[in-house]
Structure 1
Amino acid sequence: MSIKHNTEEYDNPVLYDKENNRYTDDIPFLQKWASKAEGPILDIACGTGRATIPLAKSSHKIVGIDSHEGMLNEAKKKASKMKLPIKWIQQDCTKLELNIKTDFAFSVGNSFQHFLKNEDQDGLFSSVNRHLFQNGIFIFNTRFPSAEELLQPETEEHWYTYIDIDTQHKVDVSTIAKYDALNQLQYYTTIRKYKDETNHIVNEVSTNITLRYVYPKEMERMLANHGFEVIQIYQDWQENLITNDSYSMIFVCKKVSESCK
């Protein structure tokens, strides 16, 4: 499946914000690195600007890039209401041509997992490398491919419940996962059950998404091939180091040479 046809989870940007805007754990970490940067910062696969906007509010000059027109349009609306001077660019992140050089770029929200093929991953890292100054920093995160994460039962499992901010009604979110070990792809179906004030289901919507998993040593070799040195790998945004029990991998990388691709 191409990344361009893997967007069901993002075709409703307002719903995306309802379910994801409460997540801010990565913002202080990004703010720390942004404070060391000069010139424009690149938020790659920025979505609706969940991380872009807080950094802009802290007076950082920042550019948000994404391939999804609907997500970018929502980001533009929010930034415009706040009168934030963010530059938004719609481009394929595997083939970036920005006419910008920076010493800090990041991609958060596990966006890396949407680059499903080897050539997609190579294109991303090559694109980022081209737009970084020597010794520039690139930070990104992706889920850790633990046995618990990959070998989930292929049955519907409750994930979490939240209250819709508009209706004040409960939404139960569950998933069905199937792992393709040969291609390192996890196929997810997300099921949202919307309930009324009496707790009865009044609507049910399913969406599909495919995510790529990469192992730590595999990632280190890939980054090295694209001119990056891994400075550190954390398991969370509080800078705890990765372990066998980690859920996430946060890579802090430095450009040390040009990409081989």
Structure 2
Amino acid sequence: MTALGDDERAAWYDAENAWGPDDDFFLALANERPEQRVLDLGCGTGRLTLALARTGHLVTGVDPDAAALALARTKPGAEDVIWVEGTSSALGDAELDIAFMTGHVAQAIVDPQDWTETLADLRRVLAPGGTLAFDTRDPAARAWERWNPVDSREAVTLGDGSQVVGWYDVTDVSQDGVVTFDDHRVLADGTEAVDEGRLAFRTEEQLRADLAGAGFTVDAVFGGWHHEAVGEGVGELVVVAHR
């Protein structure tokens, strides 16, 4: 087995992650006010980022993945977005009205110190009263139990028309809520690639404490994209807070 190249991984991610109700939620939140200064932290290949720009917001998309940003820059409207390669530490002295971490980006920030620093960076760049919103899987829903070769198997058609198959296989669930898994993909030519992933599953109580410690006030935590109560939605913790 091999690991995917950066460009192949970005193309797979782009094909696998189509517009969904999560994007509708975050776009509607931004559109509550016109012409906001919006940060899309962990913007990936720019699906939501570009939609935000199309609706008139001044958008900055930040991601550490150079290949994902390169793909985002090829899409229509990319010239209307400020693209930054890096993490929240690359934001400098920006001042923003609203910051998003979508697609479970918050879970990919596994190290506790990195998570603390990310929240501190976001508070620093948000204007007083500015909004922070993000999604993360509710550990009570135990989504990782479905990350196995049978239940998680999925076929994806890439931009070039080729079809690839992928699945997850969990290798460890730690007591501190970190899930480690192998991400398998079989390419059109039969090559099988595998990458290791790690995600942090934080409880609602932990998120509220972390945000309070970083200087945020939590406005709401939903269990899904239609403002369901926690535990009654789709296994999500959708957090809306302000500085």
| TM, length-normalised to structure 1 | 0.81
Is 1:217 the counterpart of 2:205 in the alignment?
yes
Corresponding residue to 1:191 among 184, 187, 190: 184
Counterpart of 1:218 in 2: which secondary structure? helix
Corresponding residue to 1:174 among 167, 172, 176: 167
Is 1:233 the counterpart of 2:229 in the alignment?
no
In the other structure, the counterpart of 1:28 is: 24
Contact 1:231–1:254 (CA under 8 A) maintained in structure 2: yes
Q: CA deviation at 1:233?
A: 0.8
Q: Which moved more, 1:110-119 or 1:152-161?
A: 152-161
User: CA offsets per residue over residues 143-163 of structure 1, 9 Å max, x none?
Assistant: 11126324x389633414334
Task: Name the % identity.
Answer: 22
Q: How far apart, CA to CA, are the structure 1 residues paired with 2:195 and 2:63?
A: 20
In the other structure, the counterpart of 1:199 is: none
Is 1:103 the counterpart of 2:97 in the alignment?
yes
Q: CA deviation at 1:165?
A: 4.2
Counterpart of 1:190 in 2: which secondary structure? strand
Corresponding residue to 1:82 among 77, 80, 92: 77
Corresponding residue to 1:156 among 145, 149, 154: 149
Distance change (3 Å), C-alpha of 1:143 and 1:9: farther
| TM, length-normalised to structure 2 | 0.87
Distance change (3 Å), C-alpha of 1:221 and 1:9: farther
Count how many residue pairs are aligned between Structure 1 and Structure 2: 239
User: CA offsets per residue over residues 18-74 of structure 1, 9 Å max, x none?
Assistant: 111x13322222222222255421111111112101111122111111122221121
Distance change (3 Å), C-alpha of 1:169 and 1:100: closer
Contact 1:229–1:253 (CA under 8 A) maintained in structure 2: yes
Distance change (3 Å), C-alpha of 1:219 and 1:55: same
Aligned Cα RMSD in Å?
2.6
Tell me the amino acid that sits aligned with residue 25 of structure 1: P
Q: How far apart, CA to CA, are the structure 2 residues paired with 1:170 and 1:214?
A: 34
Distance change (3 Å), C-alpha of 1:140 and 1:168: same
Contact 1:44–1:105 (CA under 8 A) maintained in structure 2: yes
Is 1:145 the counterpart of 2:139 in the alignment?
yes
Contact 1:158–1:172 (CA under 8 A) maintained in structure 2: no
User: CA offsets per residue over residues 194-223 of structure 1, 9 Å max, x none?
Assistant: 468xxxxx3322221111111110110110
Contact 1:154–1:178 (CA under 8 A) maintained in structure 2: no
In the other structure, the counterpart of 1:4 is: none
Unaligned stretches of 5+ in structure 2? none
Unaligned stretches of 5+ in structure 1? 1-6, 197-201, 256-261
Tell me the amino acid that sits aligned with residue 241 of structure 1: A
Contact 1:8–1:208 (CA under 8 A) maintained in structure 2: no
Is 1:248 the counterpart of 2:242 in the alignment?
no
Q: How far apart, CA to CA, are the structure 2 residues paired with 1:116 and 1:248?
A: 17
Please say which structure displays the higher CA radius of gyration: 1
